[in-house]
Amino acid sequence: MARRDYYDDPEAPLPNSIVPAVTVAVRDDDGRLLLIQRSDNGLWAMPGGGLEVGETVAQAAAREVLEETGIAVEINGVVGIYSDPKHVIAYDDGEVRQQFAVCLSARPARGTLQTSSETVQVRWVRTDDLDALPVHPTIRLRIRHALDPDRTAPYVE
């Protein structure tokens, strides 16, 4: 299903849903960040997706990372909660979501990089290479928060 992300755009359609979602900042021992190139919009992002009935935020985060990247992870913290109503996501089926995502941090436990139906590419990205990738501004904010060594508390918006 195709999607279009809007941010602070007066032409954005009005949201008709909010779906609890997770994104995960996975860093390896070399400090690289696990990123996916999304198949629905071509942008680079941290792995993540919506919660399913009966699972916790941590379970959803681990499931989404494994499904989208082939990497099993151990969740180890909270980066923040992101609910900016200026970020609207329109899907081609008519659903228009207001953003609501919990971003967690994790470390890889095992696995081999692999793509899925939701990912065009999956790779470990050095922090020096992040600026060269097309990333939505709201994901860039999460990345900045996840990589900030001076953050002492989760971000909440």
Each residue's pLDDT tens digit, 51-64: 999 999 999 999 99
DSSP secondary structure, 24-48, as one string: EEEB-TT--EEEEEETTT--EE-SE
pTM for the whole thing?
Answer: 0.93
Tell me: pLDDT of 2 over 90. no
Tell me: pLDDT of 1 over 70. no
Tell me: pLDDT of 87 over 80. yes
What integer pLDDT is reported at residue 145 of this predicted model?
98
Structure tokens at 113: 């990089």
Confidence category of residue 103, pLDDT binned at 50, 70, 90: very high
Q: What is the mean pLDDT of residues 60-82?
A: 98
Q: What is the C-alpha separation between 63 and 71, in angstroms, rounded?
A: 10
Structure tokens at 104: 């967690």
**Considering the domain 3-144 in this protein, what is its CATH number?**
3.90.79.10
Residue at 62: amino acid letter: A
Structure tokens at 146: 């996840």
Burial class (CB in 10 A: 0-12, 13-18, 19+), 44: buried
Q: What is the mean pLDDT of residues 103-129?
A: 97
What integer pLDDT is reported at residue 7 of this predicted model?
92
Backbone angles phi, psi at 98, to 5 degrees: -85, 135
Report the length, in residues, of the chain: 157
Burial class (CB in 10 A: 0-12, 13-18, 19+), 156: exposed
Q: What is the mean pLDDT of residues 17-26?
A: 96
What integer pLDDT is reported at residue 121 of this predicted model?
97
| 135 neighbors 127 (Cβ within 8 angstroms) | no
Helices (H), the chain: 57-69, 137-147
